[in-house]
Amino acid sequence: MSGQVSGQSFQCPSCGAPVLPKGSQAVVSCPYCHTTVIVPETLRQSAEPVARTTTVLETFANNDNGWQLGVEKSRFFTSLERAVREGRYRWDAQRGPDSSTTTAFLPAYQVADFDVQVNAKHIVGSKTGSSWGVVFRGQDYLNYYVCRVTDNQLFTLACVEQGKWRVLVDWTSARAIKPYGVNQLGVLGRGAHFVCSINGEVAAEVDDDRFGRGYVGLALETYIPGERTIVDFLDVELRPL
């Protein structure tokens, strides 16, 4: 969500000023601080009725959506436990000698155009020791896009194809990130165009046509051998467009 909604306007997440969207625009510029922000879905007007697949709102009250659970051990993680409990999807990881990104997909929903938002909180670990993120247009565990953030206020966007990484946005400063707070990471995809937002502020816009349809999911990467990292994913909202 992009700030508090009031009437037909909403609050800019950067300066708090009222922003009045027009038409069906998904992103607008705040007229006061000029920050580019995501327009709440409820305030986007559509010229014609559009048939949509049901929106998915995952609050982790249970595991009806089939998220990956259990404990894994490998050269990347001496221990990696995923569990759904008390309204959160907790990833508890102890890094091994090698670095790797681990992912989990929302398996029942494959979408083309979409708007996905994830709220998460980094619980244990140093600011520079890990990153978490949102996976989108995922084909399998070797082919997907991923946007990640760190608690030292950096983000990046990449495409993974056949296990090989192609950086679309290199690590970039993002002051919208709240270190050790609850952060919302969002991605809006229309065709080959992607808009990535952090706490309602647009962080990057890129074009890439590698994958036209796929799954959304979550990701974690750890960087310091032996360090323990815990991230709680609090909710996932997926809106097919």
Which band of pLDDT confidence, cut at 50, 70 and 90, is reported for residue 34? low
Could you tell me the CATH number of the domain that includes residue 100? Answer: 2.60.120.560
Number of domains comprising the chain: 2
Rounded percentage of the chain residues whose pLDDT exceeds 90: 75
Could you write out the three-class secondary structure of 76-95? CEEEEEEEEECCEEEEEEEE
Is 139 in the same domain as 198? yes
pLDDT score of 49: 43
Is 87 in the same domain as 158? yes
Mean pLDDT of 21-39: 72
pLDDT digit string, tens, across residues 1-15: 334 444 567 777 777
For residue 133 the two structure tokens come to 């993120």
**pTM of the predicted model as reported, rounded to 2 decimal places:** 0.81
Is 154 in the same domain as 144? yes
pLDDT score of 194: 98
pLDDT score of 13: 77
Mean pLDDT of 68-88: 95
pLDDT digit string, tens, across residues 173-192: 999 999 999 999 999 999 99
Of the residues 35, 51, 67, the one at which a domain ends: 51
For residue 16 the two structure tokens come to 């708090």
The phi and psi torsions of 41 (rounded to 5 degrees) equal -55, -40
118-152 b/e with 16+ CB inside 10 Å = b?
Answer: bbbbbeebeeebbbbbbbbbbbeeebbbbbbbbbe
Is 137 in the same domain as 29? no
Domain that holds residue 135: 53-240
Residue with the larger pLDDT of the pair 224 and 48: 224
pLDDT score of 44: 67
Is 14 in the same domain as 57? no
Q: Are 121 and 130 in contact (CB under 8 A)?
A: no
Is 19 in the same domain as 107? no
**Residue 47 predicted with pLDDT over 60:** no
Is 17 in the same domain as 96? no
